[in-house]
Structure 1
C-alpha cells in the first residue's frame, strides 16, 4: 500500500548517515515538522530538506544522547516547538574499536554501551512519557499515539564476523533489540508502536573510507548475496515503512535489511 506520514519527527544522529537519510525518507512521505538532533551540526541535512521542501519546519538541537538531562530537555524543546512527537528515530550510535573481549578496555566498552544502549533507552523513555500524554491522531484502528524506531544492527541478531571483532558494538545492539521487544510489549496496548531496524553493511562515508584503506570490508561485501552494500536511502525508506500504517501490525519487530547476509 502507498502511505503518507503526517506529524512531527524526532531523529537522533541526524547530521549524517542513516539519521540523515531517515529524515529525507520521512520528508518524502509527507512529514513537514522535524526535530533533528546530533552532537555535530545538522547543517547539511537541514539545507537539503529546505531545498526540496520549502514548507518544512526544523528544530535543530545539539544532543549527546548519553546525557540524561539533555535528552529530557530535547523532548521538552520539541514539544514546545511542535506540540507532540509522532515519529521517533533513535539512531545515534558509535562503532567502538574492533577488538575481542580480552583486548577491550572497560572504559571503551562502557562508552559504546553508554551511547548505543543507555542513550537509546533514555531517548525512548522520554519519548514514551510524552507519547502517553498524546491522543491518537484519529480513531482508525491502525493509528498510534506515536511510533518509535530504534537503530539496531544485523549484529544485534548474530555474532560479528571474525574479520570485524566488534564485541562492544555487538553487545550494545543485541541490547537494543531486547529493549525494543520489552517496551513494545509494555506499550502496544497503550497505543505506542515500537520496532527496530537492523541494517547490514551500509555505504556510509565511514565504511566507504575503510573500504579504500584495506580489504576487510571487501571480504565482508563478498559474503552478501546481493554482492553490494546497502545505500543509505534504502535504510531510510525502511525506517519510513516502520513508521507508516503499512506496518501497523508490526510490534517489537527487528526488521533486518542486510542484502541476505544473515540468512547464510
Structure 2
C-alpha cells in the first residue's frame, strides 16, 4: 500500500536498527528530506538512502537524547535546513542490563529512564513546539501540522519474561506509552498527531547475534506465535503507516507489532 508521504522526517537512532529501516520505509513512501540523528555516524543509512533514492536530501546530526540543549538545537537545525518537521520518530533507546530490582544499581536504572523516557519527552517537546508554529500541509481533515511516533515496546504492555528480567527497560517503555497518550490528548485538537509503536522481538544485529540454539533469545523466539522475530523493514513499514493519512484517525494509539506475543 502506498501512502504518498510528502515532507520532512526527523529520525533519532537513525544509524542502525529500527531507525535505519524506518528511514528506508519513509523514503519508499515518498519522503525526500531527512534529518538523521544518532550518537554514532549514520553513514550506512545515508549511503543506502542515496543509493535507492538519488534525489534525497539529508542532514546528519550527532545527538545524545539526554542532552536538552542538543535536542533543541537539532530541531532548530532541521527547520533551518528544511523549513519544518512533518514526521518525527523518537526511536533512540537502550536496553540496559537484564537485572531484577534487587540487583540493579540506581545509576543504571536512572540511565535507562533518562535515555528511553526523558529523552523521548525532550525530543517530543521540541517537536511539538515547532509543529505548533507550522500549518497543515493541506486542507484535508486527514492532514496534521505534524505527526510524532514514539518507539515503545511490547514490554510497554506486559511484564518481561522470567528469563528476560528487564525491569528498568520495561518501566521506561510503559512510561513512553503514558507520555504518548497524555500528549496525544493535549495536542490532537491543535493539529498534531502522536502515536506509539510497540515492536516485539526484531531481527536487529544485536538480537541475531544472540540467537544461537538454546540461547535466551532463541527460547523467546519459540514463544512467538508467528514463530519468528520481525524483519526490520516490517517495523519500518509500521512507522510509515503511523505517519500516513491511512492512520489519520489514530490518536494516542500504541500499535503492537509482535507476532502475537502479547495476546497469548
* Structure 1 and Structure 2 fold alike (TM over 0.5): yes
SS of the equivalent of 1:66 reads coil
- For residues 88 and 157 of structure 1, what CA distance do their matches in structure 2 show? 23
- For residues 40 and 143 of structure 1, what CA distance do their matches in structure 2 show? 33
Aligned length: 264
How many Å apart are 1:233 and its aligned residue?
0.2
- For residues 137 and 214 of structure 1, what CA distance do their matches in structure 2 show? 51
Structure 1: gaps spanning 5 or more residues: none
RMSD: 0.8
2:140 alignment partner in structure 1: 140
Structure 2: gaps spanning 5 or more residues: none
2:64 alignment partner in structure 1: 64
1:201 alignment partner in structure 2: 201
- For residues 137 and 167 of structure 1, what CA distance do their matches in structure 2 show? 41
1:191 alignment partner in structure 2: 191
1:248 alignment partner in structure 2: 248
2:217 alignment partner in structure 1: 217
Deviations 1:148-177 (A, max 9, x none): 000000000110001100000000000000
Deviations 1:22-80 (A, max 9, x none): 00000000000000000000000000000010100000000000000000000000000
How many Å apart are 1:214 and its aligned residue?
5.8
How many Å apart are 1:213 and its aligned residue?
8.1
2:98 alignment partner in structure 1: 98
How many Å apart are 1:147 and its aligned residue?
0.1
- For residues 155 and 146 of structure 1, what CA distance do their matches in structure 2 show? 27
- For residues 43 and 102 of structure 2, what CA distance do their matches in structure 1 show? 40
SS of the equivalent of 1:249 reads coil
1:160 aligns with 2:192: no
- Does the 8 Å contact 2:2/2:29 carry over to 1? no
- Does the 8 Å contact 2:153/2:197 carry over to 1? yes
2:236 alignment partner in structure 1: 236
2:29 alignment partner in structure 1: 29
Q: TM-score, normalised by structure 1?
A: 0.99
How many Å apart are 1:212 and its aligned residue?
3.0
